Amino acid sequence: MTDVAASENVNARDGKSGRQGEVRHEQLVRQLDALIKAGRTEDVLPLVAALPADAVPRPVLLRKVVALLMLGRLADAIPNRAALIDGVTETEAHRLVIEFWRVARRCAAMGRGPEATFAADAAATLLGRFDLLPTVPDRQLLEGLQADAINGGGEFAIAILGHLLHRGIERSFFIKFLAGLGGSRPHLGGKRPLDVLAARARAVAEQPDAAPLLREGAALMLYAAQDFARAVTVAEGAPAGSLAALVAADAGKRVKVSDQMRRRAVAPAKKAARAAKDHPPFIVVHRGGQDYVALCAASLALQNGANNVVLLGDDTTATIGIGRYAAISDYFESAAAFAPSYVHHSVSEPIYGLFSFQRWLVVEEFCRKNRIDQCVVIDSDALAFSSASEIIAAMPPGYGMNDWTWTTTVRDRMALAGLADCMRSVYARPRDEIIPFVNSLGRMVTGREARSFQDMHMFYHYRDTTKGVVVSQYAQLFHGGLDQASTLDNGLEVGAPGELAPIVLGRALKRPYLQDGRLHFREEGGAQRFIRFHTVHCQGPAKAVLHHYAALMLPGAEGTLAAWESHPAPTLKASTMPVSAPAPEAAASQPANPTLKQVPNLRLPEHAALKERLRGFVNALAPLGLQVSLRLADGPVLTAGSELRLELEVHNPGARGYPDAFEGYAALLAGFVITAEAADGIRKVAEPRWAVPEGGFPAGATVTLTGTLPTSKLAPGRYKVSADPVFEYIRWFERNVDQRPTLTFEVVATASADSADAAASTQHPRHEAPLDRGFNSSTETQGKSRVEVGRR
């Protein structure tokens, strides 16, 4: 054999050996992915360790790092970072960024914050080396936006946001994203994600040559952060009809309304005598000088006189310049004494949770030392449309205070003193007794075994243990401080002052009316009574639309009211799906009726008449009889961060149909109950609803409904889901829970999709909802559920 022939044989053998090695590595990657998907992450590491240390290909090394992060072994993952990302090609970087974003969100869902940050930062490092964002599909950009903004340092979040806006992603996606950035949970360095991203957006605003994509992303972020002046600046010149143009218009209105409210609030005509028995003050407790606090203070001054508005705060609160400033530190003796006994038992951060209780001790001490017998304590994100004395006069006689923490009407300071004593007595117990006690009083929180106990629950406890002292604002509505403008479902007519508000809030606001210059809201259905309201509370994201209510106190209020639209299009309320996602195909028969209204909270006394009429309607249909079957569309194993796809088949064997509508309300729904096994028994996790097809369930028909349930925040574990039609607030068709169709599913932790899926997604992305969608309440129809109806 010649040297050339021998060399060719060697090369052939080497080539064949190389191809065989590639095949073995591909098989190993598939095996590792299967283990991760099955939740057997600990079995990944021995398989990788069996390879020679210098012969671990990058895809295998990625799975090793994924396993280490999901096992909480950050210290072992860090030494592999350089080998994983150094020297990569642009194509490899593209895939790695997508995988790191995915890992970051999965680790965050598992409560592994440092590991999530590691993954998000690795993705950011690669984005700094390659211009990858323009070629990343929508689905992965949605995931990357959350990973970078919430788990990482937010370095690329503004750019990602700009790309998504430019691509025409369904605008309501930003509802959940923006809502998840604030709150009281800190971010890196002790800051909230919203504060981190707002700082980056301000940096973009200071760049006159910033790219249009960056400017559009920055405009939305500044609006969410309520930095309205900069939002107007950075959005200047935005294309007509774009989200940035809507932001510029509405932020400009906010600046104008705030300025007009301030000038009127501090005008000499609004000065008034200090607090007296016949002229009680408004009191606000707030540390900070945000724009919305100034709007709140201005509304209080317009109703009560600037001298009769007390802002208890810190040095930044003093800069607001409206009302009388008093330092919290001057009235903090009782609050400081309370702190050592406090045991945190809330979903909020400990500092925030503690202060939510301490503020009531501050108010009590302030009133006691200044001999103030009556007052109205109001949240800093609320507006008043009546004086404090009018609100107190509207309170039912015989009570010392009410039980709502956002607008607390104090007719007798001794009731406030009793609240302070109640708080101290609860936390005077031995520490090992406090947790079970407050756990019995708090509220259930999705995905959390322990209940959350906050100051509002302390109010309810005080009310229930001192009969006749505290009036229940739920049981005896006197509208002294009633409405959360966007989030409280109380049977009032909804509307919107333009397109932006529903995008920011995720739903419509309560539509206001003025009668004799006084604020009213109108009931939906029934007699459509106009009801006088004294305050409006705009909590959370609703702070951004506070000025639309504040404008009603200014000249030209009638024109402001004319801009409101009743019942805005439902497309602004629900979907978090990108517009480029394929729309669900409707079956040949009727979809859900879009004209029906959601049933109001029939537990509230003002809806008692509607509840009785609906109960009579349901009783007339009895006996209720349907045959129901349930199927898990993707099998019993669900990846953490995903939503559960179901198929519900409902057959009506009788001669009587069950209509979906009653007096214009969607009374008949498909109901679901998700439960988990807990140490103390079965724990209900969520109770979502689907709409049913128009016409309900006709006699002799079989109707099939398909859709998803909001399970993306469920921790790994075993769960059950049961289903049955339900007349909301009245009764389930099958009252015996054990007789309803029930299936078991398991949520397993995972961080990495198949490499084939990751590669394919760059060409054919599958559009999925973001991971941080929460659960719908038991009274809310899930707007995103697909209703595909077939009859046979």
CA 792 – CA 649 distance, rounded (Å)? 11
Q: Considering only CA atoms, which of 151, 139, 217 is closest in space to residue 181? A: 151
Phi, psi (deg, nearest 5) at residue 732:
-80, 155
In the predicted model, what is the mean pLDDT of residues 745-772?
A: 44
Q: Considering only CA atoms, which of 378, 337, 379, 392 is closest in space to residue 361? A: 337
Give the type of residue at 370: N
Q: Counting Cβ atoms within 10 Å, is residue 597 exposed (0-12), middle (13-18) or buried (19+)?
A: middle
Phi, psi (deg, nearest 5) at residue 650:
-120, 120
What the block records as the tokens of 633 is 């569309």
Report the SS3 class of residue 575.
coil
For the stretch 15-68, pLDDT in tens is 445 455 566 778 888 888 888 877 788 898 998 888 887 778 888 899 999 999
Q: Considering only CA atoms, which of 407, 369, 459 is closest in space to residue 282? A: 407
Q: Which residue blocks in 235-340 are alpha helix, DSSP H?
A: 243-265, 291-304, 315-318, 333-338
Q: Considering only CA atoms, which of 748, 755, 639 is closest in space to residue 63? A: 755
Q: What average pLDDT is seen over the chain?
A: 79
In the predicted model, what is the mean pLDDT of residues 551-565?
A: 86
CA 310 – CA 366 distance, rounded (Å)? 10
- Edge to edge, the sheet with strand 535-537 lists 382-384, 535-537, 483-484
* Token pair 């009133």: residue: 367
Tell which wins on pLDDT, 745 or 330. Answer: 330
Q: Does 577 have pLDDT greater than 70?
A: no
Structure pTM?
Answer: 0.63
| Residue 459 and residue 401 in contact, taking contact as beta carbons nearer than 8 Å | no
Q: Where are the domains of the chain?
A: 52-244, 266-477, 482-574, 605-761
DSSP H/E element including 312: strand 309-313
Question: Class for domain 605-761, per CATH?
Answer: mainly beta
* Token pair 């951060």: residue: 349
Q: Does 303 have pLDDT greater than 90?
A: yes
In the predicted model, what is the mean pLDDT of residues 227-245?
A: 83
Q: How far is CA 688 from CA 131, 206, 632, in A?
A: 41, 45, 16
Q: What pLDDT score was predicted for residue 182?
A: 61
Q: Does 389 have pLDDT greater than 60?
A: yes
Would you tell me which CATH number, out of the four given (1.10.760, 1.10.3470, 3.40.50, 3.90.550), belongs to the domain 266-477?
3.90.550
Phi, psi (deg, nearest 5) at residue 368:
-65, -45
Q: Which residue blocks in 622-652 are alpha helix, DSSP H?
A: none
| Residue 90 and residue 126 in contact, taking contact as beta carbons nearer than 8 Å | no
Domains 266-477 and 605-761 share a fold: no
Report the SS3 class of residue 616.
helix
What is the DSSP code (8-state) at residue 373? -
